[in-house]
Amino acid sequence: MLTKKKTAILVLAFAMCVGIASAALLSYYATIESTVNVAQGILVDGQGYETPITEEVPAVGGGIVYAVHTIQNLGDKEATVCLSWESNDTEGIDVTYFVNQATLTLENKDPETWQPIEDNVKATLTYCIVGDTFIYKLVATGLTPSTSYSLIYYADFEPERFTYWGGNNPGALIAEVTSDEHGYVSQTGEIDLGMDLPSPPDANIAIYDYSGPPDNYAHAHGAKIWLVPSTDYDADENKLTAWNPTTYLFETDLITYLDLDSVSTHLLHPDPETVTCITIPAHTIVSFVIRFDFAENAYGTYLVTTTVSPPE
């Protein structure tokens, strides 16, 4: 017969056994539910997908016209977007796209051979090909320290360009920069040139051909861009006033820039590589151009829709 004392001991022992049997390892300590509101990371002209972008582009039959836009990547990694178009009428129209950026290398050259000198004296000019203003970034090394330089458009005369020289045909001052104590320059800016590059009556539009020796440029015609000491340049006359070629950085190719505000006829059209997709680095804005090319007998209203979308 169990006594009260023995009964209590058995109950306690049973409770201990039950407690041991219910022990377990926790598979988690808590749950966290996060509501993450994701904003659009790719903006076109600063707008999201909800806001249609509209524009009117005047053109004539047989004409080529341009529209400039931007794509902004707000994300932390590079992104690729693709471009496509459709129109209410596809007869007599072609639409292409290109990134609105080009790069030109400027070099010091041997005045005897006009070949670049292999050293650290050089510059890189990055610029927009089409726009209301000429947007650029100039980086130069190996210059004379603490010296003022002029970035210029040098336009040749025809005939006798070596007799009638100076570059003011019409020529233009693009920027003035000053090298630091190490001969280094880095400057970004923009200027309203009020004309295309090249611009009439520059003989490099059609008269002189630079595709052969000694230049062997990729472009036979276009505009010359030089970097010269400001002491050798008259900014009011757009003209070189001295000739010290060993202190100059010369073009290594001819460039084309189309000023959308210019009233002059665009004699040359840029020929950059057309694209269907564009890669934009993180936290970067890329400018791109829509080029509309019309047949000679095109007439009427074309409603062209460009779609900017992720790659398939």
- pLDDT score of 17 more than 50: no
- pLDDT score of 136 more than 50: yes
- Domain assignment present for 11: no
Higher pLDDT, 192 or 261: 192
- Domain assignment present for 27: no
Integer Cα distance of 25 and 157 in angstroms:
89
For position 12, what pLDDT does the model report? 44
- Domain assignment present for 48: no
Integer Cα distance of 117 and 108 in angstroms:
6
What is the number of domains present in the chain? Answer: 1
Query: Which residues make beta-bridge pairs with 102?
Result: 127
Cβ–Cβ < 8 Å for 278, 288: yes
Mean pLDDT for 7-14 is 46
DSSP assignment, residue 9? H
- Domain assignment present for 227: yes
- Domain assignment present for 82: yes
- Domain assignment present for 44: no
Q: Is 133 left (phi over 0), alpha (psi -120 to 50) or beta?
A: beta
- Domain assignment present for 7: no
Domain carrying residue 197: 57-312
**Look-up of token digits 């080009």:** 102
For position 10, what pLDDT does the model report? 46
Residue 205 banded pLDDT, cuts 50, 70, 90 = very high
Q: What is the pTM of this model?
A: 0.85
Query: Which residues make beta-bridge pairs with 308?
Result: 83
**Look-up of token digits 């070949």:** 115
DSSP assignment, residue 39? P
Residue 15 banded pLDDT, cuts 50, 70, 90 = very low
- Domain assignment present for 139: yes
